[in-house]
Structure 1
Amino acid sequence: MTEAGIVVSWSMQAGDTMQIASIVERAGVPAMVKFALDTKATARQPIRYATFFLRGGWKGLPPAAANVPQPRPAAGTKPAHCGDPDCDEISRTREVEDDRGLRHLERCPDCHPASKGQAA
């Protein structure tokens, strides 16, 4: 946090220290620093103690895995094939039957490049 320009006192109760250690493991230091920077930017008074961030929101940070953006395929490449037996590996389409019994092809919702907002 000091490297990010946030200088605060880390003097606190043992229970607070344990909570912060738990948050570091769960959410990660980058998420904690980002939260502190965002909070400092909107604070009405100078923040002097790290416990301010602990009580103000660090406890509610999501697990680090939720913070990691999913890798997107490079432009012009397809995402990995989903492996579904109904999905064609080349076209990434599935043959489906509508309620009238007519069969047609639909994009695979799991691995077609145009699915889930991915660029083709």
Structure 2
Amino acid sequence: MTNAGITVSWGMKPQDWFAIAEIVERAGVPAMVAFARATIRTTREPVRFATFFLRTGWKGLPPAARAVPSQPAAGPAPHCGHPDCDPVTRTRETEDDRGIRSLTRCPACNPNAQRGHAA
């Protein structure tokens, strides 16, 4: 609320805090701030206490829309089956021109491997 330019006292009774916690869970902070902004524009007296918003409308805010994922969460890619790729670590042992061996991420199945990005 302070970031939105609304400075009020938050001194209130424990039951009011419980009510606010329930409203935050159900409706969300953005809806509460939007309601407070609209209320401040239309009220004649300055609002000094957050309980004013609680009593005048926060309790009646509708539930926030929940984002529904368009696709199920993707799990790790299956093991690529390459003979040099370890199925647990998804790394390959490679050897450079000087004969130095090192482990590198498998470009086919390691979830942290650098892959090309679409433009």
Q: Normalized against structure 2, the TM-score is what? A: 0.55
> Pairwise CA RMSD of aligned residues?
1.6
Q: What residue in structure 1 maps to residue 15 of structure 2?
A: 15
Q: What residue in structure 2 maps to residue 36 of structure 1?
A: 36
Measured after TM superposition, the shift of residue 65 of structure 1 is 1.2
Verify: 1:24 aligned to 2:24, yes or no. Answer: yes
Q: What residue in structure 1 maps to residue 64 of structure 2?
A: 64
The letter of the residue matching 1:50 is: A
| 1:9-47 CA distance string (max 9 Å, x none) | 000000000000000000000000000000000010000
Provide the C-alpha distance between the structure 1 equivalents of 2:42 and 2:3, rounded to a whole number of angstroms: 19
Once the two structures are superposed, the pairs formed by residues 46-61 of structure 1 within 5 Å of their partners are: 46-61=46-61
Segments ≥4 residues shifted beyond 2 Å: none
Percent identity of the aligned residues?
67
Q: Normalized against structure 1, the TM-score is what? A: 0.54
Measured after TM superposition, the shift of residue 3 of structure 1 is 0.6
SS of residue paired to 1:65: coil
Provide the C-alpha distance between the structure 1 equivalents of 2:41 and 2:11, rounded to a whole number of angstroms: 22
Aligned residues: 68
Provide the C-alpha distance between the structure 2 equivalents of 1:54 and 1:33, rounded to a whole number of angstroms: 12
| 1:42-79 CA distance string (max 9 Å, x none) | 0100000000000000000000018x7xxxxxxxxxxx
Higher-Rg member (1/2): 2
